Structure 1
C-alpha cells in the first residue's frame, strides 16, 4: 500500500513522463488536421486531390522513419537509461516541429520548401519511433503490482489531451479566420503554439527520476547485443506489430483523418469536423484507463479478442450508414463507437506489448513492433482512405481498411500466447549467449 507521499510521487512521475508524449502527438495531429492547407502551401499541384495526397504522403513519410528511430533511439534508452533517452527524443521532435512551422511556402523557396518540410517530418518520425515505447516502458516499470495496464494507459491518455487541445485551437481559428487567411498563415499558429510549449516540457522531463528496475539491472546491452536479441526474437516483434495494427489504424482514422474525411468526403462544416474530433479525444481519454484497468482484472487477451471481432462485424456497416446521409450527429456516433474500440483495445494491448518483450531490449523491441505497425498501416491511414475513396467512389471504404486491420490483429491475438511462450524461452538463451559472444 502506497503512502500519501509515494502516491504523489507516482502521480508526478506519470505527469512528467507523459507531458512529452502530449507534445509528440500534438505536433502529429496538427499536421493531420491542416493537411489540406499544408498541401496548398508546400505542394501546389494541378488538382486539389493531388495536392492533398502529396501532403498526406509527407504525413505518412514520418512514419517510415519510426522503425529506424525505434532501433537507434530504443537501443540508446536500453543502454543509457529511460530519462536520458526521453530527453533526447523531445529535442529531436522540437527541431522537426520548428522546421515545419518556420519554412516559407513553395511560392518563396520553390522546391526547397517541400524538401525542408519532408526533413522536418522525418525528424519528427525518428523521435516518435521511440517516444511512445519509451514512455510506455517507463510507466510499466514504475507501476504498482497488479496495475500495469492502468499505469500504461496514461501514455495514450496524454495523447488524447493533445488531440483535444489541437482540435480546440482549430475550432477557434476557423471561427476567427476566413479560409484564405487559414491557407496563407493561420495553419502555422498551432505549430508555433507547440513550439512555445517545448521549454516547459523539457523542464518537466529533466526532473524525471530513472526507474528502479533499470538502475538495478546488472547488464546494459550494447547496440550489437540489442540487435542480436531482437533478431533472436523476431516472431515476438512480428506478433507485436500485428497486435498494434488495430490500435494505430483506429486511432489515426478517428483523429488525424476525421477533419479531412468530414470536409472532403462528407462535405460537412470545418467546425463540425473539428468538434467531432474534440469529442473523440475526450471519449478516448475516458475509455483508455478503463481498458487498462479492465485488462488488469480480467486479463489482456479477452479484450484483444473481443474488440477486433466487434470491428470486423460493425466497421463497414457503420460507415455505410454514415455516408448514406451524412450529418454531424451520425459522424459523431460512428466516431464514438470506433473510439470505444480504440480505448478498450489499446488499454489492453500496450501493457501486453511491454510484457512480451525481453527485459534487456524492452524499449527497442516494443518500439520496433509498434513503429512497424504505424509505418506499414496506421500512419498511412489518412492517405490510404483518401485514395480508396477517390479510386472506388465508395465513401464507406475506410470501414474496409479498419476491418482489414482488425482481422490482422485478431489473428495475432489468437497466436500471441503460443508465440510468446516459445520466444521468451529463446530470449533467455540469447541474452546469456550474446555477452559471451561479444567478449570473444
Structure 2
C-alpha cells in the first residue's frame, strides 16, 4: 500500500473516531446529566428519558443517510465526510452550552433533543460515507483488514469518551460531575470535530468515484430500490441483529452493571473501558482473517454464537459483584460481535455499484440501526421497569436469528465484490 493511500485511510478513520466520540459521549455521560434534564424521583425513569432522546437521535439517521448518501454519490465521498463532521461539531457545541431544567424548564430537554437530531443526521451520513471511502481506498487483497478500521475508530471514539469520563471521575466529585463536569467532554468533542473538518478538506477522492461517468443515472432511493431491492433488504436484516447486539454489549452494559448488578459507577466504567479496548484490538485481526477465509464464516460465527451466548451471559452478569467477575463475561459476546463489526462495512460496500454505493450502504443500515440499534437501550430499560428484565436477552437472540438468516442468503462478497480494483 502506498503512503498516500495509507494517509487517506488514516485521516478518514480519525474523522470517524471524533464523530463517534461525540455521539457516544451522550450515552456515557447520561448517568450524570439525566437528573439535570429530567428531574424525576426514580433513577430508572430518568435514564429511560435520556435513553429516549438517545433513540430519537437514531431516528434521524435514516434521513441523514438518505440526504448525505445521495450527496456523497453525487458530489464525492470527501464532500460527504466533510459535511457530516461539520454537523457533529454543531450538535456537540449545543449540548455543551445547553441550559438545565432548573434554569430553563422544558426548553432544556428541547435543546438537548435538537442537538441529538443534528448528531443523528451527522452519524447517519458518516457511516455510509466512511464505509464507502475506506472500502474503496483499500486494495482488494486487504479490503477486509483496512475497512475494519471503521470500527477500530468507532470503538475508539466510544473508548475515548469513557476515558474522558474516567479522568473526570478521578478529578471531580459526583456532585461536580452532575452540576457541570458532564459538559467538558462535549466541549472537547466540538474542538476535535472542528480539527477533523479541516483535515477532511484535504482528503483525496477515491478512484471509484472519479471513474464514474458524468452522465450516469443520479443516485436516488427510487433507483436503489428498483435495481438493488434484495441487497437493501439483506443489509437492513443484517443491521437489525448486528446493531442491537453492538449497542446492547457496548453501550447498555455500562448501565446494566450499575442498575442491575449494582457495581458503583466508576467500577462499571472501568470494566467497559478495558472491554472496549480489547474489542477494538480484535477488529483488524478479524478483518485480516476475513481476507483469507471469506466474509461469511465470520458472520455466521457472530450470528450463531451470539444466539447461544446472549441469554446466559446476561443472566450471569446480573449476579456479578466485582469488576474481575464482570470483565470475562462481558468479553464473551464482544468477541463474537467483533466477527461482525470488523467486516460489516466492507460486506455492505461490496454489494453495491459505485454510483449508488454510499446510499446503498447508508440507508438500509440507518433504518435497521434506528429501529433496533438506537432503541436497544430503551427496550432494555423498558423490560427492567416492567419487571421482566430477562426478556431483553431473548429479544437480542431473536434479532440475531433474523441476521443469521440474512447471512445465509448473502453472497460471499470477497469473491463477488462490486468495488473495482484500481
Instruction: State the TM bucket, normalised to the shorter chain.
Output: over 0.9
Match of 1:180 in 2: 175
Match of 1:206 among 201, 216, 239: 201
- Maintained 8 Å contact 2:34/2:46: yes
- Aligned counterparts of 2:160 and 2:301: Cα–Cα separation in 1: 31
- Maintained 8 Å contact 2:295/2:412: no
For residues 77-113 of structure 1, what are the alpha-carbon distances to aligned partners after superposition, in whole Å with 9 as ceiling and x for unaligned? Answer: 0000011111111111111111111111111111111
- Aligned counterparts of 2:28 and 2:391: Cα–Cα separation in 1: 20
- Maintained 8 Å contact 1:142/1:211: yes
Shift of 1:220: 6.2
- Maintained 8 Å contact 1:79/1:220: no
Match of 1:84 in 2: 79
Shift of 1:46: 4.3
Match of 1:70 in 2: 65
Matched, 1:410 2:404: yes
Match of 1:355 in 2: 350
Shift of 1:16: 0.7
TM-score normalised by length of structure 1? 0.90
Match of 1:39 in 2: 34
Match of 1:251 in 2: 246
For residues 286-335 of structure 1, what are the alpha-carbon distances to aligned partners after superposition, in whole Å with 9 as ceiling and x for unaligned? Answer: 11111111111111112111221011112111221221344312321121
Structure 2 stretches lacking a partner, 5+ long: none
RMSD: 2.0
3-state SS of the aligned residue for 1:34?
A: helix
Matched, 1:130 2:107: no
- Aligned counterparts of 1:290 and 1:358: Cα–Cα separation in 2: 27
- Aligned counterparts of 1:406 and 1:220: Cα–Cα separation in 2: 41
Match of 1:401 in 2: 395
Shift of 1:336: 1.1
- Maintained 8 Å contact 1:163/1:277: no
Cα distance, 1:366–1:220 mapped onto 2, change above 3 Å: farther
Structure 1 stretches lacking a partner, 5+ long: 425-440
- Aligned counterparts of 1:279 and 1:348: Cα–Cα separation in 2: 22
Pairs within 5 Å for 1:21-420? 21-219=16-214, 225-232=219-226, 233-394=228-389, 396-417=390-411
- Maintained 8 Å contact 1:43/1:54: yes
- Larger mean Cα displacement after TM superposition, 229-238 or 124-133: 229-238
For residues 229-259 of structure 1, what are the alpha-carbon distances to aligned partners after superposition, in whole Å with 9 as ceiling and x for unaligned? Answer: 2121233112101112233122212222232
Shift of 1:37: 2.2
For residues 195-243 of structure 1, what are the alpha-carbon distances to aligned partners after superposition, in whole Å with 9 as ceiling and x for unaligned? Answer: 12123212211110011111111146566x5222212123311210111
- Aligned counterparts of 1:69 and 1:50: Cα–Cα separation in 2: 29
- Aligned counterparts of 2:286 and 2:170: Cα–Cα separation in 1: 35
- Aligned counterparts of 1:209 and 1:126: Cα–Cα separation in 2: 24
TM-score normalised by length of structure 2? 0.93
- Maintained 8 Å contact 2:88/2:193: no
- Aligned counterparts of 2:293 and 2:62: Cα–Cα separation in 1: 32
- Aligned counterparts of 1:187 and 1:94: Cα–Cα separation in 2: 17
- Aligned counterparts of 2:286 and 2:64: Cα–Cα separation in 1: 28
Cα distance, 1:221–1:402 mapped onto 2, change above 3 Å: farther
- Aligned counterparts of 1:151 and 1:231: Cα–Cα separation in 2: 29
3-state SS of the aligned residue for 2:190?
A: helix
- Larger mean Cα displacement after TM superposition, 139-148 or 41-50: 41-50
3-state SS of the aligned residue for 1:267?
A: coil
- Aligned counterparts of 2:342 and 2:367: Cα–Cα separation in 1: 19
Shift of 1:45: 2.6
Shift of 1:402: 2.4
Shift of 1:170: 1.1
